[in-house]
Amino acid sequence: MPEGLEAEIYRRSALVAVGRQVESVLVDPAQPQAEEIAASLPGEVLGGVERVGKHVVLEFESSSDPDHGDGLRLGVHFGMSGRLIVDDRAAIGELVYASNRLDPSWDRLVIEFTAASGGGSIRVNDPRRWSKFVLDPGQLPVGVDLLDVTPAELGRRLADRTASIKSVLLNQDVVAGLGNMLVDEVLSGAGIHPGRPARDLDEADIERLVATLDERLPTMLAAGGSHAGLLDPAHRASLGACPRCGGGLERSTVAGRTTVWCPDHQT
DNA sequence: GCCCTTGTTACGCC
DNA sequence: AGGCGTAACAAGGG
């Protein structure tokens, strides 16, 4: 599923289109702002691609006055099955829990660029239609970015939280970009029980948690995303030996989500 | 054809 | 006021 790592991979894949001018736009009519998006983007030039947590933000500038662009921004959230396809090349070949097919009828957003500016396209293909497109996203998640967490920052944000550490880490206003798989992965790496109240974590716990983020996230990013962890989908499905300690993995529901964890080393 | 899956939001409660 | 838990949501796949 698209978590912050997938969004970062998508962001990087879209950079090739910076400088191109929008020729035409198709938007799923079910999107709340479908008409505004389709009407406002043609003629705009893609000026940059940013990421905010799990969102990819396409930043446009008016072609008629590049120095005073109108700052049009389109925030894209990929739901649980959305994929970004740039120039007909999918950056992530296999999304867990998502079909591997790319049925054109599942295209929810298609941006075609003018031939004169380089041609090509950016598409969002999403079988389950949970992607969301927002023009000028005012208030995207305000949590610290998953690739930018420090022990001091995380400690401050966990203080006084009585909810489970898993629930708090999934909160995009605490850490932006962590999803179900990544949270299970880092709690496994740090040896922390997912159900522990967040405020009960001591300094050593938080240090281990951040050290795990620092070590695992870049590795998983390079390996293709949130499915590329040690606690990978095969382990999640089979509940075999814990990849960390060899103990027996268990599955339960924490914070309303399917949670895989190891009772032997996560305490 | 029921039930599982994800992230976010809308609620009700405390 | 705001943290917290939970249900609901779409739709494909098993």
Nucleic acid strand C: bases within 7 A of protein CB: 3-8, 10-13
This prediction's pTM = 0.92
Is pLDDT larger for residue A96 or for residue A215? A215
d(CA A183, CA A207): 15
pLDDT at A97 over 50: no
| pLDDT value, residue A139 | 63
- How distant is C1' of B11 from CA of A114, in Å? 47
A23 φ/ψ angles, rounded to the nearest 5 degrees: -90, -50
Q: Is the CB of A96 under 7 A from strand B?
A: no
Distance separating alpha carbons of residues A266 and A248, to the nearest angstrom: 11
Determine the nucleotide nearest to A77 by Cα–C1' distance. Answer: B7
- Nucleotide nearest A258 (Cα, C1'): B5
Mean pLDDT is lowest, of A58-72, A87-101, A158-172, for A87-101
Asked if strand B contacts A3 at the CB level, meaning under 7 A, the answer is: yes
Please report how many Cα atoms fall inside a 13 Å half-sphere around the Cα of residue A246, on the Cβ side: 0
| Both structure tokens of A254 | 């924490």
Instruction: With beta carbons less than 8 A apart as the criterion, state whether A13 and A84 touch.
Output: yes
For residue A258, say whether its CB is under 7 Å from any atom of strand B. Answer: yes
User: Which range is most confident: A47-51, A87-91, A100-104, A131-135?
Assistant: A47-51
Decide the pairing of beta strands A55-62 and A44-52.
antiparallel
Average pLDDT along chain A: 87
Q: Judge if the beta carbon of A252 is closer than 7 A to nucleic acid strand B.
A: no
Question: Does residue A93 register a pLDDT over 90?
Answer: no
**Distance in Å, residue A133 CA to nucleotide C2 C1':** 28
Q: Can you name the residues that pair with A113 across neighbouring β-strands?
A: A22
Per-residue pLDDT of A110-132, as tens digits, reads: 999 999 999 999 999 888 888 88
Range with lowest mean pLDDT among A120-124, A139-143, A210-214: A139-143
Q: Chain B positions under 7 Å from a protein CB?
A: 4-8
pLDDT higher than 80, residue A92: no
C-alpha angle A42-A45-A48 in degrees, rounded to nearest 5: 130
Chain A residues 134 to 193 whose Cβ lies within 7 Å of strand B are 141, 170, 172, 179-181
> A11-20, A26-35, A91-100, A205-214: which has the minimum mean pLDDT?
A91-100
Rounded to an integer, the average pLDDT of A195-212 is: 94
Residues 112-141 of A with CB under 7 A from strand B: 128, 130, 141
